[in-house]
Homo-oligomer: A and B are copies of this chain.
Amino acid sequence: MDVGSYVVEKAKTASRAARILSNMGPNLKNRALDDMAEALQNNKELILQANKLDLDNAKKSGKGKAFIDRLELNQKRIDSMAGGLIKVASLPDPIGEVSKMWKRPNGLRIGKVRVPLGTIGIIYEARPNVTVDAAALCLKSGNSVILRGGKEAINSNVAIYNTINKAAVSAGLPEGAIEFIDITEREAVETLMKLNEYVDVLIPRGGRGLINSIVKNSTVPVIQTGIGNCHVYVDESADLSMAENIVLNAKTQRPAVCNAMETLLVHKNAAENFLPHLGKTLKSLGVEIRGCSETKKLIPYAKLATEEDYDTEFLDLILAVKVVNSLDEAMDHIYKYGTKHSEAIITNDYNASQRFLNEVDAAAVYVNASTRFTDGEQFGFGAEIGISTQKLHARGPMGLNELTTSKYVVYGEGQIRK
């Protein structure tokens, strides 16, 4: 069978499974998730052996430390994946909720019911834990899932997939509830992106290159995740000690993630009291600063920022800084360079806080808090499949509810349209 037909068959099976899953109550789904967790624990050795093959290949082909770290599994990480499954099992089932119901003058009663999306395709890179996390969230929300991980993790993923899929089917989930495409040729993804008949949505999880390529080429609807050129704006009225705490947290607590700050904007009236001390602290933490000419006056070791620096998601210990003349200039800067992910203002001025909340267009807008909170767990959703940076369907952290859609159920007594 050629690659295309193989992928189509997998998608068909997943689509048939979706029909069964959509009407499955919470008990069976939760039992399957618990059994999958147990199976992961029981197959640890096998999974670690497979992972070792991937790690050896990665090292041989000269992959960097960050890459190896994302790829590597160990006892603790497998425990953590198993724990994730049990946690998802314990979350409330989103399916069947009637968000509203009303009666029309003609007597029709119309209800809006939460139902699964159907079949979800997840395209990801070298993190084998996505295989488990994504499957758990999709199944819990009544969807079947088609997984397609990166070729660098293929041995790990196959071992994990075989483990959890066997457990899921033994627990009573339909064949095809979890599909995994074990073909690493690019053609497999190209086929998947065109299967509108069987796949309801694609969620790419990975770097900008992966996401852009899928957005550009997929005819299946895509939910875009994860590109964050996030700003913190320190207003002239800010509590500067709070501002420094938040800036340090947003930049250095985990610089490689999408909700980390990339550019700091400082009101000119706060700059003199704020930047010199902050500059010293950032220097001691190994943060490179690229600032405007005003910044350079106050932080001598800063490099001069280019236009491109303000447009870059560094994902690293690099911070762009700009001194601005007003709240409006800060918001204009965010409008021009932001990616509508997470934006924060540090202020004690009521009007400034309200204007920022109302006028800045982003998935999450903060007053006096770190941008690092844009996260499903931190928002209280219990789990997260990613952070949507698009406006359609879901925006911001996506939990179980964001993996569902609705249908209208209409109760009549013979009504016809006049």
Contacts and interface: CB of A to CB of B under 8 A. Distances in A.
Number of copies: 2
Contacts of A205: none
Given A378-B417, A392-B201, A416-B246, A409 B357 contact: yes
Interface in A391-418: 391-393, 395-396, 405-417
Contacts of A369: 108, 410-416
A372 interface: yes
Contacts of A219: 215-216
Contact of A117 (B118, B253, B391): B391
A359 interface: yes
Contacts of A411: 367-369
A361 interface: yes
A407 B412 contact: no
B118 A409 contact: no
A124 to B, nearest CB: 20
A366 B369 CA distance: 47
A159 interface: no
Interface string A85-120: 000000000000000001010001010000101100
Q: Which interface class (under 10, 10 to 19, 20 to 34, 35 or more) fits A?
A: 35 or more
Interface centre among A219, A253, A364, A391 (most CB of B within 10 A): A391
Contact of A414 (B246, B374, B407): B246
Given A104-B380, A373-B417, A390-B221, A364 B408 contact: yes
Contacts of A335: 19
Contacts of A408: 363-365, 374, 379, 395-396
Given A117-B391, A221-B390, A392-B392, 9 more contacts: A22-B359, A102-B380, A215-B219, A239-B414, A253-B416, A253-B417, A362-B407, A369-B411, A372-B417
A358 B409 CA distance: 9
B414 A242 contact: yes
A19 B361 contact: yes
A223 B117 CA distance: 15
Nearest to A413: B368
Interface majority SS (helix, strand, loop, mixed), chain A = mixed
Contacts of A393: 392-393
Given A364-B410, A369-B414, A412-B369, A395 B405 contact: yes
Given A219-B216, A357-B409, A407-B361, A417 B249 contact: yes
Given A392-B117, A392-B200, A410 B366 contact: yes
A13 interface: no
A223 B104 CA distance: 27
Contacts of A358: 23
A373 B415 CA distance: 9
A326 interface: no
A338 to B, nearest CB: 12
A370 interface: yes
A392 B416 contact: no
A184 interface: no
Given A196-B215, A200-B391, A414-B245, A108 B373 contact: yes
A363 B392 CA distance: 18
Q: Which are the 10 A-B pairs with shortest beta-carbon distances?
A: A369-B412, A249-B416, A372-B417, A393-B393, A242-B414, A391-B405, A368-B412, A364-B408, A369-B415, A392-B393
